[in-house]
Homo-oligomer: A and B are copies of this chain.
Amino acid sequence: MLKHIHSINNPLVKQWKRLLTKKERDKSGLFLVEGFHLVEEALNQREQLLEIILSERVELPARWDIGSIPVTTITEEITNELSDTETTQGIYAVCRQEGKRTLQEAKTFLLIDAVQDPGNLGTMIRTADAAGIDAVIVGNGSVDIFNAKVVRSAQGSHFHLPLLKGNLNEWIEDLKKENIPVYGTALENAKVYTKTLPTSRFALIVGNEGKGVEKELLDKTTANLYIPIFGKSESLNVAVATGILLYYLRSV
């Protein structure tokens, strides 16, 4: 199954490179991951992994069980074309965005409203994974879930839990119908988060770095929570706030 590509004008190279754009990712339902750690995570979630692409100067780790997954080797020049990092490890995988996980059993949700920074979104996905959250729903206006920097910051969590784009207004209504309490985060008309008891079923909404969660969403929640600021900083980083709230709500 080993193929070698040496021309940067090969249509496959152009197709892979287009996966660095949101437009092509949306159209194809695919995304590209880069680096040994992420490709190994993709291997562990094999139904999402379509093919591996490898610089000719790089070798696959002997412990990896590649099975029938197609592997293509490429030149140094092509390797650099596909990279989103300054120093590439020279290994990529083309993956399906959707896994076969279902939401039927999901009891805990993180809803993300208009988070702009890819590092923040990736760290939030990683944090939700660590906290054992069952699904992450990303609303319109957020940076793309499958953006290369989001994927890198999430360190493989894209392969660990369902990540969906969705209309948060509709999600809040559906969750409330299921009797799952939905907690917004806000600075006004909100209660200190420790006044809410940890619970086995909940959804938490966190929002944009500057503006927070959209008022329209906050008006629909079961309750809105805030994290007190004891010092002189104006706010917490949104990924840090997400960690504090998820670890509190899921009750350690």
Contact = CB atoms under 8 A, between A and B. Distances in A.
Contacts of A252: 192-194, 227-228
A193 to B, nearest CB: 7
Contacts of A193: 252
Q: Tell me the number of copies of this protein.
A: 2
A171 interface: no
Contact of A231 (B131, B233, B243): B131
Interface stretch (A67-75, A77-85, A119-127, A181-189): A119-127
Interface in A216-252: 227-237, 239-244, 247-248, 250, 252
Contacts of A133: 231
Nearest to A44: B232
A51 interface: no
Contacts of A247: 227, 244, 248
Contacts of A237: 123, 126-127, 239, 243
Contacts of A192: 252
Given A228-B252, A229-B130, A252-B192, A155 B234 contact: yes
A113 interface: no
B119 A230 contact: no
A193 B243 CA distance: 14
Contacts of A229: 130
A161 interface: yes
Contacts of A234: 155-156
A230 B133 CA distance: 8
Given A239-B237, A243-B236, A231 B194 contact: no
Contact of A235 (B130, B194, B227, B240): B130
